[in-house]
Amino acid sequence: MSNNMSDNNQPKCPYMTTADGAPIGDQNAMTAGPRGPLLMQDVALLEQMQHFNRERIPERVVHAKGSGAFGTFTVTHDISKYTKADFLSEVGKKTDTLMRFSTVAGEKGAADAERDVRGFSIKFYTDHGNWDMVGNNTPVFFVRDPYKFANFIHTQKRDPKTNLRDNDMQWDFWSLCPESLHQVTILFSDRGRPVGYRNINGYGSHTYSFINNENERVWCKFHFKTNQGIKNYMDDEGDSVIASDRESSQRDLFEAIENGDFPSWTMKVQIMTQSQAEQFEKDTGWNPFDLTKVWPHADFPLHEVGQLELNRNPENYHAQMEQASFSPSAFVPGIGPSPDKMLQARLMSYADAHRYRVGNNYHQLEVNKPKCPVFNSQRDGVMASAEDYGSRPNYWPSSRAGTPDVAPEFKDPAWDLGQTIVDRFDSTVDHDDYTQAGNLFRMFDDDHRDRLATRIAGALGDAREEVQMRQLCHFFRADPDYGSRVAQKLGIQIPDEMMQHA
- For ligand NDP, which is the closer residue by CB, 187 or 330? 187
CB 119 within 8 A of CB 101: yes
Smallest separation (angstroms) from ligand NDP to the CB of 342: 17
In one-letter notation, the amino acid at residue 198 is R
Number of Cβ within a 10 Å radius of residue 272: 21
Number of Cβ within a 10 Å radius of residue 254: 17
Where on the phi/psi map is residue 379: left (φ > 0), alpha (ψ -120 to 50), or beta?
beta
Q: Which of 76, 70, 69, 120 is nearest to 94 (CA)?
A: 76
Smallest separation (angstroms) from ligand NDP to the CB of 201: 5
Number of Cβ within a 10 Å radius of residue 141: 23
Q: Which of 57, 69, 133 is nearest to 100 (CA)?
A: 69
Using rule CB under 6 A, residue 227 touches ligand NDP = no
Task: Give the range of 10-18, 165-173, 331-339, 434-442 binding ligand NDP by CB under 6 A.
Answer: 434-442
- As annotated, the active-site residues are 63, 136
Smallest separation (angstroms) from ligand NDP to the CB of 81: 21
CA distance 365 to 363: 6
Using rule CB under 6 A, residue 191 touches ligand NDP = yes
CB 175 within 8 A of CB 471: yes
Using rule CB under 6 A, residue 117 touches ligand NDP = no
Task: Give the range of 86-94, 113-121, 147-155, 288-296 binding ligand NDP by CB under 6 A.
Answer: 288-296
Task: Give the range of 69-77, 117-125, 184-192, 398-406 binding ligand NDP by CB under 6 A.
Answer: 184-192
Q: How far, in Å, are 138, 144, 223 from residue 341 at the CA level? A: 18, 7, 20
Residue 153 burial class via C-beta count within 10 angstroms: exposed 0-12, middle 13-18, buried 19 and up: middle
- For ligand NDP, which is the closer residue by CB, 325 or 338? 338
Smallest separation (angstroms) from ligand NDP to the CB of 104: 16
Using rule CB under 6 A, residue 291 touches ligand NDP = no
Smallest separation (angstroms) from ligand NDP to the CB of 247: 25
Task: Give the range of 14-22, 205-213, 321-329, 432-440 binding ligand NDP by CB under 6 A.
Answer: 432-440
Q: How far, in Å, are 62, 257, 294 from residue 102 at the CA level? A: 9, 17, 22
| Chosen residue from 81, 108, 297, 411 binding ligand NDP by CB under 6 A | 297
Task: Give the range of 21-29, 148-156, 294-302, 338-346 binding ligand NDP by CB under 6 A.
Answer: 294-302
Using rule CB under 6 A, residue 139 touches ligand NDP = yes
Using rule CB under 6 A, residue 450 touches ligand NDP = no
Q: What string marks each residue from 299 to 338 as x (binds ligand NDP by CB under 6 A) or -?
A: ----------------------------------------
Task: Give the range of 108-116, 119-127, 433-441, 458-466 binding ligand NDP by CB under 6 A.
Answer: 433-441
- For ligand NDP, which is the closer residue by CB, 99 or 186? 186
- For ligand NDP, which is the closer residue by CB, 323 or 436? 436
- Residue 126's SS3 state is strand
- For ligand NDP, which is the closer residue by CB, 82 or 125? 82
- For ligand NDP, which is the closer residue by CB, 189 or 338? 189
| Chosen residue from 62, 111, 143, 186 binding ligand NDP by CB under 6 A | 186
| Chosen residue from 298, 382, 406, 421 binding ligand NDP by CB under 6 A | 298
* Torsions phi, psi for 271 (to 5 deg): -125, 140
Using rule CB under 6 A, residue 361 touches ligand NDP = no
Q: Which of 416, 356, 377, 313 is nearest to 98 (CA)?
A: 313
* Torsions phi, psi for 129 (to 5 deg): 105, 175
Q: How far, in Å, are 63, 403, 409 from residue 399 at the CA level? A: 45, 7, 21
Using rule CB under 6 A, residue 296 touches ligand NDP = yes
Size of the site for ligand NDP (CB under 6 A): 16
Q: How far, in Å, are 84, 188, 221, 444 from residue 489 at the CA level? A: 53, 14, 37, 18
Q: What string marks each residue from 23 to 52 as x (binds ligand NDP by CB under 6 A) or -?
A: ------------------------------
Ranges assigned E (strand) in 227-289? 264-272
**7, 12, 14, 19 alpha-carbon torsion, rounded to 10°:** -150
Using rule CB under 6 A, residue 199 touches ligand NDP = no
Smallest separation (angstroms) from ligand NDP to the CB of 101: 16
Which 8-state DSSP code applies to residue 321?
A: I
Q: How far, in Å, are 22, 33, 46 from residue 27 at the CA level? A: 13, 16, 12
Task: Give the range of 150-158, 277-285, 436-444, 483-491 binding ligand NDP by CB under 6 A.
Answer: 436-444
Smallest separation (angstroms) from ligand NDP to the CB of 273: 17
CB 263 within 8 A of CB 310: yes
Using rule CB under 6 A, residue 440 touches ligand NDP = yes
Which residues in this chain contact ligand NDP in the complex, by CB under 6 A? 139, 182, 186, 189-191, 201, 223, 294-298, 436, 439-440
